[in-house]
Amino acid sequence: MPNVTTDFNDRTIEYEQLLSDFKALLKKNSLKFTIQREVILETLYNSDEHLTPESLHHLLQEKFPDLKTGIATVYRTLSLLEDSSMVTSLSFGAQGKKYELGAKNHHDHLICTECGNITEFVDEQIEDRQHFIAKELGFLMKDHSMQIYGICSNCQK
């Protein structure tokens, strides 16, 4: 199993750590560590995108064709991981949920409505403020998404 970090930033944790967290979680709940659960975690870890259950299932069929992992197992494992906060799910307005590992870093998007260019950014002040607001309103904040729409400097010319 590769012991690598992604090139995102220092908030990303290593796979070995993630895997042992997962095993600890399973043990604590008298659940079993199966090869299907392992490859699902690994595939989520190695993906830079938000995955739908279907796209994750597809990836598994490509990378581990011998396992013949069923879509039902993908759904069941994602629910398990989400319930234990190891992955978060987002719905972006389209149909269905998308999942990503909670261990990855977060960023927001500036989207140019003219050329479609997307700039990523993270702003600590906004991040802090979001936590504050969630707390004020009694929410246990899990994740957030923010998009700013506008016209980029190039397109303003």
Partner DNA sequence: GTCGCTGCAAAGTCTTTGCAGAGAG
Partner DNA sequence: CTCTCTGCAAAGACTTTGCAGCGAC
Q: Compute the residue count for the chain.
A: 157
Window contacting DNA (CB under 7 A); options: 9-17, 28-36, 106-114, 126-134: 28-36
Cβ 148 vs Cβ 110: under 8 Å: yes
Site residues for DNA, window 94-123 (CB under 7 A)?
94-97
Tell me the β-bridge partners of 3.
none
Site residues for a second copy, window 88-107 (CB under 8 A)?
88-94, 96-97
Site residues for DNA, window 29-88 (CB under 7 A)?
30-37, 52-54, 67-73, 75-77, 79
Nearer to a second copy, 8 or 92 (CB): 92
Indicate whether 4 belongs to the interface with a second copy (CB under 8 A).
Answer: yes
Nearest to 111 by CA among 147, 87, 140, 80: 147
Q: How far is CA 64 from CA 4, 69, 71, 105, in A?
A: 20, 8, 14, 27
Nearest to 5 by CA among 105, 127, 142: 105
**3 state SS of 49:** coil
Binding site for a second copy (CB under 8 A): 1-2, 4, 6, 88-94, 96-97, 110, 112-113, 119, 121, 123, 125-126, 129-130, 133-134, 136-153, 156
| Contacting residues toward DNA, per CB under 7 A | 26, 30-37, 52-54, 67-73, 75-77, 79, 94-97
